[in-house]
Amino acid sequence: MKKFIFCAVLIIAMAFVAAGGYFALTDSNDDYFAALEPGGVSAELAEENMGSATEISDGIVLIPMDGYEIHAEKTDGGGCRVLSVSVTEPKHRFRRGKVGVGDSADKVKKAYRGRKQIADLPENEFGFIDGRTWVRFKTENGVVSEINLSYGP
């Protein structure tokens, strides 16, 4: 009987972890972008702020926001498509460990323990794949100086 109860508890625990339970973000992978803006970072938000954009290459613009920057691509219809977001200020925090700019690389790595690491990054960078979101951290002297969020490499 004890073996049966142990097996049942183990199966329930494994199902919880597989469903994203303990190791998951607080709600969904879109929490990264929802944490920056109440409605999330979207093409509409980027288009609304296009007046403050700086073109950094042919069709690619950088849109400064409050503590982060949106990297977007202009589309043919006059709109844009969000490519990535760079977080540059410590007020934006992510994951259960509430890590962000200004934290030690060790603290961030601990918060992402169990997530797949992104390979082949420069020496001063490390990153993780968290669901659909690729999270890259740039460091200076072992401290996170910038976080880049995207849906792929």
Q: How does pLDDT run across 74-115, given as a tens digit for each residue? A: 888 777 888 899 999 998 888 877 899 999 999 999 999 889
Q: Quick one: tokens of 45?
A: 């938000």
Does one domain contain both 63 and 7? no
- Segment among 20-29, 63-72, 79-88 with least mean pLDDT: 20-29
Does one domain contain both 44 and 105? no
What is the domain count for the chain? Answer: 2
Does one domain contain both 29 and 76? no
Closest CA relative to residue 88, chosen from 11, 147, 140? 147
What percent of the chain lies above the pLDDT cut of 70?
A: 78
Does one domain contain both 92 and 144? yes
Compute the chain's Rg from CA coordinates: 18
The parent domain of residue 131 ranges over: 1-34+88-153
Closest CA relative to residue 134, chosen from 144, 143, 147, 120? 147
Does one domain contain both 26 and 99? yes
Mean pLDDT, the chain, rounded, equals 79
24: DSSP letter = S
Q: Looking at residues 145-151, what average pLDDT do you find?
A: 92
Beta bridge partners of 63: 70
Q: Is residue 101 within 8 Å of 88, Cβ to Cβ?
A: yes
Does one domain contain both 95 and 137? yes
